[in-house]
Chains A and B, each alone.
Chain A
């Protein structure tokens, strides 16, 4: 005996295909209700009709519509009106699915992270030009220590002599024309503005990454954590990466060059951004990168699979380990 069911009806038939009993649901005018039923079926559960029939015929084997084992029978298939109600529900469900994608932190991080990369690239170019530009007119000025402050000072100054006074340097004989100064001043304004925007953007990355990847953020810092997550195409994939991949994530070009030509393998990818690596002597960076990457995979897995969230106590032993590696290798290796 077989129990056939779909989203709006259920029926019981014997092996020869004779219908013994059937139940139909006629509430399909309500699209939300149809959607609920689709959810039931998507979770491999039974509709109320199927459950009622199953109580009456406990021996019947339940099979969903379309299953190959079902015998041929005159099953109560939906009318064309019911089918168009189903289409409507399908569209609504898809719309909900697409709307739900907006809540996906992986996708949000991706946009934020890529946008901030683009913004940073343009900030560096614009700021570099400003320093050169001001340097042309005020050759005595030195801004190595306070490059960021220069934008603010140049934007606030009313004229070049004003700026020269603020920077405490002498005016050159040949200065810019009125309009030229205005253009330089505008440039300084936009450098300052981009800086503010960049900071705001990075703040929002920090916020999102700290909630989406709390353990990894504690270990590597939220900006690096989000960059790794984006590079791995989402937290779910990041958490499944082996430590070796995590270590060279972002160094794909060097890695494939290594495979192809036998050049030295890359020792670190994005993870190099971490001060433990970038502030260490060249010859221990590979060792430290390996240690940190191994720990980072564990942290990412804690975040993805709902493990205990890391705190400072988890990071301290790793920092000690890094210190040990540095202490053990004070000199570059001899060749």
Chain B
């Protein structure tokens, strides 16, 4: 699904463009272009040096997405994990706090079976944790709140299967500014993750595609 520089995912809703991205048919199968400028996960896939597609879950996995937003990354993730009419039998639980975003996600979930939108605060597991009946294979957190690393660590401990993949998209501007620049913030978070017993597989700086952001790929 890679073509030169661009990434493409097989469109689970044929002939439908989710957020204005381009569609292209290749050997009778329609693909959607994954815009790395709009999606942090897409940016990480473009920027990763050692891992690239290992970042993504396997088709058919159960995934948890904290801070789904308007569903740009989520739609591509769904293409990959569930596919058309959920042929891969995947399951994605998408949590977001804002009713405005959930409105878009609910519309999307009608066309994309396997996608479960949940209205809730990523920090408050007790309110929606029960929706995640079994531990998940893959977890992505993309929230812009202070203490992102703490939220991520507790979510990994609570929801991620041993040996699962966890991705933390960290926005430096949401953390307390120590005055030493974003590099210092990124280093401090890396240390915090390792102290919590997580292994950082790769740390991907998204500079240029998504400024002041860094994506950590970890396993537990």
A contact residues vs B (CB 8 Å cutoff): 6-7, 38, 41-42, 44, 64-66, 68, 77-78, 83, 86-87, 90-91, 93-95, 97-98, 100-101
**Distance, CA A101 to CA B127, complexed state (A):** 18
B contact residues around A94 at 8 Å (CB): 102, 105-106, 117-119
Interface readout for B93-109 with A: 1 if CB under 8 Å, 0 if not? 10000011011011001
B contact residues around A77 at 8 Å (CB): 133-134
Return the contact of B99 from the options A41, A64, A97 (Cβ within 8 A): A97
A contact residues around B132 at 8 Å (CB): 66
Return the contact of B102 from the options A83, A87, A97 (Cβ within 8 A): A97
Tell me whether A41 and B119 are in contact (CB under 8 A): no
A contact residues around B91 at 8 Å (CB): 83, 87
Return the contact of A66 from the options B102, B106, B109, B129 (Cβ within 8 A): B129
With A91-B117, A97-B119, A101-B99 in contact, is A65–B130 under 8 Å at CB? Answer: yes
Q: How distant is B68 from chain A, measured CB to nearest CB, in Å?
A: 11
Return the contact of B116 from the options A6, A42, A78, A87 (Cβ within 8 A): A87
A contact residues around B135 at 8 Å (CB): 66
Tell me whether B116 and A64 are in contact (CB under 8 A): no
Nearest-neighbor residue (CB-CB) of B126 within chain A: A44
Nearest-neighbor residue (CB-CB) of A80 within chain B: B89
Interface residues of B in 106-160 (CB under 8 A from A): 106, 109, 116-119, 126-135, 157-159
B contact residues around A6 at 8 Å (CB): 130, 133
Nearest-neighbor residue (CB-CB) of B91 within chain A: A87
**Distance, CA A7 to CA B134, complexed state (A):** 13
Return the contact of B133 from the options A68, A78, A91 (Cβ within 8 A): A78
Interface readout for B68-107 with A: 1 if CB under 8 Å, 0 if not? 0000000000000000000000010100000110110110
**Distance, CA A66 to CA B116, complexed state (A):** 19
B contact residues vs A (CB 8 Å cutoff): 91, 93, 99-100, 102-103, 105-106, 109, 116-119, 126-135, 157-159
Can you give 27 A-B contacts (C-beta < 8 A)? A6-B130, A38-B130, A41-B126, A42-B128, A42-B130, A44-B126, A64-B129, A64-B130, A66-B132, A68-B157, A78-B133, A86-B131, A87-B91, A90-B116, A90-B117, A91-B106, A91-B116, A91-B117, A93-B119, A94-B102, A94-B117, A94-B118, A98-B99, A98-B103, A98-B106, A98-B119, A101-B99
Nearest-neighbor residue (CB-CB) of B125 within chain A: A66
B contact residues around A90 at 8 Å (CB): 93, 116-118, 131
Nearest-neighbor residue (CB-CB) of A96 within chain B: B119
**Distance, CA A83 to CA B130, complexed state (A):** 11
Tell me whether A86 and B133 are in contact (CB under 8 A): yes
Between A42, A86, A87, the greatest number of chain B beta carbons within 10 A of the residue's beta carbon is seen for A87
**Distance, CA A107 to CA B127, complexed state (A):** 23
Q: How distant is A137 from chain B, measured CB to nearest CB, in Å?
A: 49
A contact residues around B158 at 8 Å (CB): 66, 68
A contact residues around B102 at 8 Å (CB): 94, 97-98
Nearest-neighbor residue (CB-CB) of B131 within chain A: A90
A contact residues around B105 at 8 Å (CB): 94
A contact residues around B133 at 8 Å (CB): 6, 65, 77-78, 83, 86
Q: How distant is B145 from chain A, measured CB to nearest CB, in Å?
A: 15
Tell me whether A93 and B106 are in contact (CB under 8 A): no
**Distance, CA A91 to CA B103, complexed state (A):** 11
Return the contact of B118 from the options A7, A44, A83, A93 (Cβ within 8 A): A93
Q: How distant is A301 from chain B, measured CB to nearest CB, in Å?
A: 24
Q: How distant is B122 from chain A, measured CB to nearest CB, in Å?
A: 14
Q: How distant is A26 from chain B, measured CB to nearest CB, in Å?
A: 16
